[in-house]
Chains A and B, each alone.
Chain A
């Protein structure tokens, strides 16, 4: 019991610190957004400012044309000391296998894992790569601009609210180690914030993504489009953290349990 109280006290202090820290950081970011031009304030520049635009979630698809799979090794490490007493080292890098005879025909792209030493640990025959990321983009459309601003700050505002309710919950537990009505109301709000935040994120990314098809990168050589290199396309991506959504739903279930525990406790306290 005593150990639990110490833990609750530590968590309360920790979440109080996080709450004030994130709140001050949010005010600082908003201040730069509202009161400065493109994040510049005299000689100071805010790195967090969205002068170049706001992030749009995308999925990168990298497709390598005419691939040749051959890993790379770094061998023959030589070390020494020069006449000035400075240490130096040099390496010799070569392919594991000889390059195929048709390597000089047209365009070829060699896909390699790089290893230090003579041993090859991985090989691949995959010439297509996918990853999630963001692209910074601006819009002249007011609706999209508002949605982009909302998307940029919603995560931070959600974090401030989550820390606020966690701070409050642990304060209530610290004050009275029992099932109070305030406790389940705060747990309910915490769950609702997580669910609403994730659903809004999903809707906003859907709307942002529906305003464009894809982003492509095209290489020109001597004024002609070059198709045999590395093909990079970026498609709209929906952003939805299913884990946080499930945590929010679980907190709502926990709320109903806390509510019934509160009723049981009241009845127990009124049993003479």
Chain B
């Protein structure tokens, strides 16, 4: 898929663990793992908003488009 999820990079920058982020935004670690691995088919605006708020970043910091 040409959409790359850079959640790992942002988590490392903020020195936050996946489990902590999952608890803050209210999703399961399994679903967060699906999102991180790029297996997710879609992301809800509400989830994106919660991630951006928790990591204090913009959607463009998490999602990236790459022609492949």
Residues of A bordering B, CB below 8 Å: 266-267, 270-272
Contact = CB atoms under 8 A, between A and B. Distances in A.
Q: Is the interface of A mostly helix, strand, loop or mixed?
A: mixed
Interface string B42-60: 1110010000000000000
Contacts of A267: 41-42
Contacts of B40: 270-272
Given A270-B40, A272-B42, 11 more contacts: A266-B41, A267-B41, A267-B42, A270-B34, A270-B41, A270-B42, A271-B42, A271-B44, A272-B35, A272-B40, A272-B44
Nearest to A271: B42
B11 interface: no
B47 to A, nearest CB: 5
Size class of the contact patch on chain B = 10 to 19
B63 to A, nearest CB: 12
Interface in B1-40: 27, 31-32, 34-35, 39-40
A271 B43 contact: yes
A266 B42 CA distance: 11
17 contacts: A266-B41, A267-B41, A270-B39, A270-B40, A270-B41, A270-B42, A271-B40, A271-B42, A271-B43, A271-B44, A272-B27, A272-B31, A272-B32, A272-B34, A272-B35, A272-B40, A272-B42
A7 to B, nearest CB: 31
Question: Which of A266, A267, A271 has the most chain B CB atoms inside 10 A of its CB?
Answer: A271
Contacts of B35: 272
Contacts of A270: 34, 39-42
Question: Which of A267, A270, A271, A272 has the most chain B CB atoms inside 10 A of its CB?
Answer: A272
Question: Which of B35, B39, B42 has the most chain A CB atoms inside 10 A of its CB?
Answer: B42
A252 B11 CA distance: 48
Contacts of B32: 272
Contacts of A271: 40-44
A271 B27 CA distance: 12
A271 B47 CA distance: 10
A265 to B, nearest CB: 11
Nearest to A267: B41
A270 B44 CA distance: 11
Contacts of A266: 41
Contacts of A272: 27, 31-32, 34-35, 40, 42-44, 47
B10 to A, nearest CB: 15
Nearest to B36: A272
B54 to A, nearest CB: 14
A267 B34 CA distance: 12
A271 B42 CA distance: 5
A272 B40 CA distance: 7
A219 B39 CA distance: 82
